[in-house]
Amino acid sequence: MKKIQFTETVLRDAQQSLIATRMPFEDFENILATMNKAGYYSIECWGGATFDSCLRYLNEDPWERLRKIRKACPDTKLQMLLRGQNLLGYKHYPDDVVRKFVEKSVENGIDIIRIFDALNDIRNLETAVDEAVKRGAHASGTVCYTTSPVHTLENYAKYTKQLEEMGVQSICIKDMAGIMGPQDAYDLVKAIKETVKIPVVVHTHCTTGLAYMTILKSIEAGADVIDTATSCLSGGTSQPATETLAFTLRQLGYDVDLDDKVLKEVNDFFKPVRAKALETGLLNPLVMATDTNALNYQIPGGMLSNLVAQLTAQKKLDKLDDVLKEVPKVREDMGYPPLVTPMSQMVGVQATANVLTGRYKNISKEVGSYVKGEYGKAPGKVSDELKKLVLGDNEPITGKFADTLAPAFESTKSELGKRAKSDEDVLSYIAFPQLAEKFFDARDEKERHTYTYSIKAIKEG
């Protein structure tokens, strides 16, 4: 019987979706050696928001985290999520930076790089895919799933064919909002399987309650790998549960190569982590429930919690329904971008501004750049109103935006001088300058302490 493989997401997407990526390394350090024995296809543990969160909130070196995970999990493939030309940030980087980032990710321990572009603009994947393949990593070409008049099965299939020709070793369907219904999934997986020869991975979220059914129908249609999360951190805005799907698929006669005893150990380990997050309020029970709003509004879990946080901070939570209704309008005006980072933030912020201050009275800088073509090609047509407001009589960029950017790695490296202790530091700085500086300062301070302490210890004998 066909073998179905599992990617465990607890260290990246599950914790990103449920607790805003605030899980420090110490909270999972002691389970890594066990996870290494579970039989996962891969452990998704890096990229996405983990890099940002390490620097911003956890005072951790993201590269160091990766090396430690690598060391503890020598037998399991480590996977990261990369936003194509955006890397892990929110803007486009020049090609030399993208290449260096991919090179260093692989060197520090990444085996599989899932690469996507928020607009499914293939030009924004090219460089990252090319470098990943060159470095011997597995490049997984990703399709951001969304629904709109321009997102047809035919267009999706064509896109995956181009990705295969580009050299990716698998195709991932990324349903970040959990809006892909079982039949949609069946049709899409089937169309892709009929188009490409490489394995198909399905990634979805439980947000709307569709995920288990969607995964089952995907497998019926030929999907090879699924993304799941250990059960205590599954469901809601996270992935469906690893154990539940292992059980189900075995019952249906599929070959599942996971060790149930290990899966239980992993889950038992994370239960107190969840309890602590609930206690501190980091984990809001709301995000663990089913919310069918996304079926109408197409709001991914992370975006919904951001909107709630934004409106709460401005004491305007009563406007949530209006903002949710404004989101599809903004999205249509922007030519139907899939709601994934950074588009989800962009659309969310703009929809909020429209509701609070009047439609397009304040256009965010990011939406301006988007309309100018700085993020890539919009999947559909940008509305004339929005174009007129942003561009006036100018034309948007038609080429790949990163081609207009000057190489930045070597110049930043020499600019930083001794401040950066490695190429990895330079990349952290390029991705998040202020956060990296703050992190370098804290690290220097810590080293001074350790140094003083050891001198003292030597003197005191």
Beta bridge partners of 202: 173, 226
Alpha-carbon distance of 182 to 407, in angstroms, equals 44
Beta bridge partners of 113: 80, 139
Q: Smaller CB distance to Co ion: residue 13 or 126? A: 13
Q: Smaller CB distance to Co ion: residue 94 or 348? A: 348
Alpha-carbon distance of 372 to 35, in angstroms, equals 45
Q: Smaller CB distance to Co ion: residue 179 or 355? A: 179
For residue 302, the minimal CB distance to Co ion (Å) is 8
| Residue whose C-beta lies closest to Co ion | 13
Q: Is 224 exposed, middle or buried (0-12, 13-18, 19+ CB in 10 A)?
A: buried
For residue 179, the minimal CB distance to Co ion (Å) is 12
Q: Tell me the CA distances in angstroms from 456 to 204, 449, 461, one per residue in order.
A: 54, 10, 8
Q: Which of 39, 51, 50, 131 is nearest to 85 (CA)?
A: 131
Determine how many CB atoms are found less than 10 A away from the CB of residue 329: 15
SS3 357: helix
Contacting residues toward Co ion, per CB under 5 A: 13, 176
Alpha-carbon distance of 143 to 116, in angstroms, equals 7
Q: Smaller CB distance to Co ion: residue 13 or 117? A: 13
Q: Smaller CB distance to Co ion: residue 302 or 335? A: 302
Alpha-carbon distance of 313 to 275, in angstroms, equals 26
For residue 205, the minimal CB distance to Co ion (Å) is 6
For residue 16, the minimal CB distance to Co ion (Å) is 7
Q: Smaller CB distance to Co ion: residue 12 or 413? A: 12
For residue 343, the minimal CB distance to Co ion (Å) is 14
Alpha-carbon distance of 366 to 345, in angstroms, equals 9
Element (H, E) at 144: strand 138-144
For residue 318, the minimal CB distance to Co ion (Å) is 29
For residue 259, the minimal CB distance to Co ion (Å) is 25
Q: Smaller CB distance to Co ion: residue 207 or 354? A: 207
Strands 42-47, 78-82: pairing is: parallel
